[in-house]
Structure 1
Amino acid sequence: MKPAKIADYGITEEFGYLPSSDPALSLSPGNEEWDQFGKDLPKLLMGTNFRQRVKNLPQFNIGKLNGEAEIQRAMLVLSYIGQAYQWSENEAATVMPAVLAKPWYEVGQLVGRPPILSYQSYASDNWRRFDKSGAIECGNIGLLQCFLGGQDEEWFILIHIEIEKKAGKALKAIEQAQEAVISGDAEKVEAALIKLRTALTAMYEVLGRMPERCDPYIYFHRVRPYIFGWRNNPSLPDGVVYEGVDQYKGVGQKFRGETGAQSAIIPAMDGVLGIEHEKDELREYLMEMRTYMPPAHVAFIQAVEAGPSVRNFVTSTKKNSLTEVFNDCVELVANFRAMHLEYAGTYIHAQAQATPGNPSAVGTGGTPFMVYLRKHRD
């Protein structure tokens, strides 16, 4: 049994799950029309012929993608255009045109994720710094890509990006705690858990800033509609056909929509703290979310889960201060979930009115979200 080492999975203490160098700002020549289309998305969505404009785009040139950062940018641009194509009109699109579907699938294969907008593209790869030597935090970062744009959409996503940045120290603390368990060093386990507690507190404080610049009404009516998926969606009972993607054999695909449950932060915290969920639909859903995460992040979660048990070490050591800080960490994870549930109530449930694409009782990931979030917290 060995500790999970973040460096083995491309994770850093400084950046957490975020890329360790700032995301690519544009695509190389050869795909500039697609790149510009993404940048113009908020303006293009004001027109009535959006879907036709997408169909008129030139063939996407995967061979022109230069390096990992550009591949991730391609996934971001294609995913935003794909979601916009789907939800730009009241009538859902049952077919994704080949000009978009084929490169979306192929780039998805390169990054190990399905062809739909997932959290990695929505948030983790979607930022730039104004002051390049400054911190990755709200006030010094802006989005590379929006649907409609505006303060509320930016802020909603920027909060998540800052949380990802703050999580870096928590992920390193997981490694340090497991290493200390292996060596049987209670003081080092405690020091690692203190570090984890500090990081979790910082993450919780950032999440608490959501209402500052993201209004629930605007979120519900202008931000949320574009991130729904094609699974458990009444307007897409047979999913979406990806035209020209031979691997799908013309069968409609039912992918989940973007959701914070696709971030690898909380699953890693559950893993190190030994927090287990009942074997039920919620747990199945959380496991399914891993197919939308970067494969390296999933591998890290699995390494944490398979690593030495911090919970068992704390229980058997019977040291009051160690037990106390461990319990503080568990409580902070619970508080983080409770705040998320509170926001789901304010931003979605309370705004619940009929809206094209999905009933309000179903989350963007295609679940009865209030039920799931309560269970998740409990």
Structure 2
Amino acid sequence: MPTPEDFHVSPTLAFVLERPLDALPSYYDSWKYCADNVRKWLTNGTIRPTLESLPLLHTECLARSHKQLRLAHLQLGTLVSAYIWCNGEDDVPSSLPCCLAVPYTEISCKLGIDVGIAPHTTVALANYKVKPGCTDSSFSFNAENYDLLHFKLLDDYSNDWFFLATLEVEVEFASTLRPLFSLVKAASDGNETCMSQQLYTLASSIRGMREKMQRLKLHLDPFVFFNQLRPFLSGTNQNVFKRHGGGIIFKGVGDEKAPVKLIGGSAAQSCTLQSLDAILAIEHATDVAEFLSSTRRFMLPSHRRFIEWLRSRKRSVRSYVLQRTSGELVNSYNQCISEMIQFRSDHADLVKQYIVEPRSIVRQSEQNLLGQTGTGGSPLMVFLDKTISSTKKSLIDQP
């Protein structure tokens, strides 16, 4: 039986990077300087010429350290988002300068993830540091005790809180790891009592994640998120990029005549719900399943393997429950499914509050509107409704 560590999953922080670095070797100081000052240059309108003057730095030595790669990707990812979306939809560039395009592509490749805009694994999972005077506790991750390292694009705490509150949900997922691994073993051993107990424990952990998710509303202003932060998370699949061939030229990378289509950052790129879907064998409609599969290209390879390991068990938890006649076992499984339904419903409510409702108030022309599309490009409410529906179908009738 493998352990979480075999998949580079932390027993206390799950998929969150433990103690990210806050500095790279001095050779890369220009990246940090720009990432630290990006807000100022966004405000005075000098961000593009400033970034275009950066030197083209080599990335070979970074391959020796995973944490250095994660920080470099975060710094460059901050600059890429700022360069592309600094003027909103009114003035998107047709190309990305080689000083950003080349190292960002190389580091994405070294990490084993697709090139994208603000990928979840970078801006959410490797983007925090302890506030001065606060304590870093693995046992109780309190977002108020942390600051962002980078991607601080707005002079509004909503920017920081969006990612820090997301971190709380991700860290809460660590409480599911023990029952997840116990369920795999119980299904293999045919231990019905253990399985029922661990399913109840898993349901409680999912409920804890849902409670953490509600904290997002404490310091996140819907209109600041929709109008100011969300565009920086968006991909090139938005309407405004159609005139550029649906993408952006990466100078110095491959065929400079072919626009690169970049997917935006999205909670769908999180490993958490996909891991829970896998252990509970929740099956989604073909189009939803294909979309979720595509998001794994933005997960670290070891984290993708974790999801595949859960999905590939010869005897799934669900199949075992279906073969038994125990009402208690079915009830414990259904409690997990009910918590998943509620989690997805609560998330859909947040999407309505932070995307659908602000959009209806601040309505723009359909030609240049980002629209009811997730930052990753999915038709958002339709997609979320489908995931809720397929999760409901996973409920098992009592014997």
Aligned equivalent of 2:52, options 47, 55, 60: 55
C-alpha displacement at 1:244, in angstroms? 0.3
1:150-161 equivalence runs, <5 A: 150-161=156-167
Aligned residue-pair number: 372
Aligned to 1:125, the other structure's residue is in SS state coil
C-alpha displacement at 1:319, in angstroms? 2.2
Match of 1:354 in 2: 364
| Aligned mates of 1:314, 1:293 — CA distance in 2 | 30
Aligned equivalent of 2:239, options 222, 234, 240: 234
Match of 1:26 in 2: 23
Could you tell me whether the CA contact under 8 Å between 1:41 and 1:148 is conserved in 2? no
Match of 1:277 in 2: 284
C-alpha displacement at 1:64, in angstroms? 4.5
What TM-score results when the alignment is normalised by the length of structure 2?
A: 0.89
Aligned to 1:139, the other structure's residue is in SS state helix
Aligned equivalent of 2:374, options 333, 350, 363: 363
Match of 1:91 in 2: 91
| Aligned mates of 1:343, 1:306 — CA distance in 2 | 32
| Aligned mates of 2:369, 2:248 — CA distance in 1 | 15
Deviations 1:38-95 (A, max 9, x none): 1112222112121110011122231453611111000111111001100002311110
| Aligned mates of 1:122, 1:323 — CA distance in 2 | 39
C-alpha displacement at 1:357, in angstroms? 6.3
Unpaired stretches in structure 1, ≥5 consecutive residues: none
| Aligned mates of 1:36, 1:64 — CA distance in 2 | 20
Sequence identity of aligned pairs in percent? 24
Match of 1:299 in 2: 305
2:246 maps to 1:245: no
Match of 2:202 in 1: 196
- Which amino acid is the alignment partner of residue 368 of structure 1? P
Could you tell me whether the CA contact under 8 Å between 1:228 and 1:357 is conserved in 2? no
Match of 2:211 in 1: 205
Match of 1:260 in 2: 267
| Aligned mates of 1:191, 1:201 — CA distance in 2 | 16
Aligned to 2:181, the other structure's residue is in SS state helix
Aligned to 2:239, the other structure's residue is in SS state coil
Aligned to 1:236, the other structure's residue is in SS state helix
| Aligned mates of 1:295, 1:11 — CA distance in 2 | 12
2:373 maps to 1:372: no
What TM-score results when the alignment is normalised by the length of structure 1?
A: 0.94
C-alpha displacement at 1:144, in angstroms? 1.0
Deviations 1:76-119 (A, max 9, x none): 11111001100002311110111110000000111111222200
Deviations 1:255-287 (A, max 9, x none): 21100000011111111111101112x222111
The verdict on how the C-alpha distance between 1:157 and 1:22 changes in structure 2, with shifts beyond 3 A counting, is: same
The verdict on how the C-alpha distance between 1:177 and 1:214 changes in structure 2, with shifts beyond 3 A counting, is: same
Match of 1:170 in 2: 176
| Aligned mates of 2:125, 2:71 — CA distance in 1 | 11
C-alpha displacement at 1:348, in angstroms? 0.6
Across the aligned residues of Structure 1 and Structure 2, the Cα RMSD in angstroms comes to 1.7
Match of 1:137 in 2: 142
Aligned to 2:92, the other structure's residue is in SS state coil
Could you tell me whether the CA contact under 8 Å between 2:56 and 2:98 is conserved in 1? no
| Aligned mates of 1:234, 1:350 — CA distance in 2 | 20
| Aligned mates of 2:331, 2:167 — CA distance in 1 | 30
C-alpha displacement at 1:8, in angstroms? 1.8
| Aligned mates of 1:257, 1:191 — CA distance in 2 | 39
Could you tell me whether the CA contact under 8 Å between 1:178 and 1:310 is conserved in 2? yes
| Aligned mates of 2:275, 2:378 — CA distance in 1 | 22
- Runs in 1 of length 4+ with deviation above 4 angstroms? 355-358
| Aligned mates of 2:178, 2:10 — CA distance in 1 | 8
C-alpha displacement at 1:221, in angstroms? 1.2
Unpaired stretches in structure 2, ≥5 consecutive residues: 390-399
C-alpha displacement at 1:358, in angstroms? 4.2
- Which amino acid is the alignment partner of residue 312 of structure 2? A
Could you tell me whether the CA contact under 8 Å between 2:38 and 2:47 is conserved in 1? no
2:130 maps to 1:119: no
Could you tell me whether the CA contact under 8 Å between 1:4 and 1:300 is conserved in 2? no
Could you tell me whether the CA contact under 8 Å between 2:200 and 2:335 is conserved in 1? no
C-alpha displacement at 1:188, in angstroms? 1.6
| Aligned mates of 1:357, 1:98 — CA distance in 2 | 28
| Aligned mates of 1:84, 1:128 — CA distance in 2 | 21
- Which amino acid is the alignment partner of residue 346 of structure 1? Q
